[in-house]
Amino acid sequence: MRIIYLDIDSLRPDHMSCYGYNRPTTPNIDKIAAEGMVFNSCYTASSPCVPSRASFMSGRFGIHHGALTHWGPGGEFYYPEGDGHSEVIPFFTRHIRKAGYKTVTFSSFGDRHHAWWYFAGWNEVHTHSLKEGNENADEVNASVIPWLKQHGKEEDYFLHIQYWDPHSFYTYPIEYMEQWKDSPVKAFPDEATIAAQQSDSFPRSAKFLHWGDKYPATMPGQIASREDYKHVIDGYDGGVNYMDKYVGELLDTLRELGIEDEVCFIISADHAESMGEQGIYIEHASATEAVHHIPLIFKAPGVTQPGAKVDGFVYNVDVIATITDMLGLEVPSGWDGKSFLPALKGEHWQGRDYLVMDHALYVCQRAVRDEKWYFIRTYHQGLYLNFEPVTLYDMENDPNQLHNVADQYPDVVKEMDHRLSQWLHEQASKPDYKVDPLQKVIETGPWKYLSADDWIRKLERNGAMEEAAVLRRKYKSEALQPAYDG
């Protein structure tokens, strides 16, 4: 079987036309979706980039693979000590390569995040630039297309292609943004919500949208109105559409090779992106619905049911377990993923009853999601003091997650907290369990790209003295000295 896995950074399913979006952002992906199956409830177990792709490579939840943040304490990838590789928890790439599949990646991810484990098991690794994830889709395809023309007709390969274009900053040709100038955007957030968000003072908030002073024309300087909101959405959708153009180039190449109808396509993302939820824009900074809900499209000729829409909760770790099962291989006992191959075949299948997810880069959170409720326990707020220790959203009546109703539904909070505790006990009882990496980040703080001191000084430079004082009081230490006022 020839398999192409499109790994698209920061892609929200509700900004794809095959998921019902009003803008035709993904016409080429739509063609694949029409011939395959669209999963409505796929979630990344851990966010953002490093934890998610560590799960992709290892088949394990972040609590087991250890890389729950991007570096430092809580970011160390766990693997059995000594020479050789584990047969119980093998890398996905090694597992299918041992079965005769050629494994090839076109991705600068390992380079960007200094992730040694990402390079394990591939026959071929193509980083194709030194831009560390800042390359556009045309630059990715400049390497991919020649490879396809030379090797595409070979049998039994797993070709992983990563596109970054929906990830800020948006550096594609500006006409891809400008095409949406007469196209309306969603009703959320409305003017009242945006006005209320002007009091937020955390990174990627409406008023403090950028960490630095430089940003491209595809992005506004802040979100002060619906016009600014439209600007940021037009910019994001431009990135999605630009990426999709080069998916079309892949399809054209496969058609030229005469194998377009023989290739298995899997399309997903590492995580999605907040676009106003919790007051956060163009960022993946929490264990929230906006960040963890990702697209999943499966097209496997002779296996999948064309045009089917699939409900039922699945994790990203379930995706690689399913690929493994589809290839007729045993799903390793040490993986946390479960195969949903019966769903692909149109057989009886039921998704997971609920999901447990976590984030430890900008905040320390674990979340529990079922059909109606989204529960979040925040262990460390980082710079995001808007997150309360316990949050509960009614996703049926409040899909934009505007109202924390934890106080109104104590029994639901108790049940979701019980699910979280039970999940933690189950993980701790598994063989080779080491230590919860989230605890390491809680201890040291989620200070990676920005420290509390960095942000306090930015707030003070911008005249937000009261907001800076709140942070200074919360994180009082020798490292937090008053800004020089001379």
One-letter amino acid for residue 356 of the chain: V
* Phi, psi for residue 392 in degrees, rounded to 5: -135, 125
The pTM score is 0.96
One-letter amino acid for residue 183 of the chain: S
The DSSP output letter for 316 is H
pLDDT score for 481: 45
pLDDT score for 486: 32
One-letter amino acid for residue 154 of the chain: E
d(CA 258, CA 262): 9
Query: Could you state, in chain order, the average pLDDT of each consecutive group of 10 residues for the chain (486 residues)?
Result: 98 98 98 98 98 97 97 93 86 97 95 91 93 93 98 98 96 98 97 98 97 93 98 98 98 98 98 98 98 98 96 98 98 97 96 98 98 98 97 97 98 98 97 94 95 95 96 74 39
Query: What's the chain's Rg over C-alpha atoms?
Result: 22
Domains of the chain with bracketed CATH: 2-350 (3.40.720.10), 356-444 (3.30.1120.10)
Neighbours of 479 (CB within 10 A): 10
Contact yes or no for 385/396 (Cβ under 8 A): no
* 204 Cα distance to chain centroid: 17
- Cα separations (Å) of 460 from 197, 208, 210, 213, 472? 19, 12, 15, 15, 11
d(CA 244, CA 24): 10
How many CA atoms lie within 13 Å of 109's alpha carbon, on the beta-carbon side? 29
Strands in 237-381 per DSSP E: 263-268, 274-275, 281-283, 293-299, 308-310, 314-315, 355-359, 364-369, 373-380
- CA neighbor of 47 nearest in space, from 311, 271, 365: 271
d(CA 250, CA 252): 5
d(CA 236, CA 12): 10
Contact yes or no for 250/141 (Cβ under 8 A): yes
pLDDT score for 212: 86
- CA neighbor of 387 nearest in space, from 280, 278, 264: 278
pLDDT score for 203: 97
Contact yes or no for 268/297 (Cβ under 8 A): yes
- CA neighbor of 29 nearest in space, from 299, 409, 373, 406: 299
d(CA 341, CA 351): 11
DSSP-assigned states of every residue in 45-84: SEESHHHHHHHHHHSS-HHHH---SSSSTT-PPP--SSSS
* 38 Cα distance to chain centroid: 17
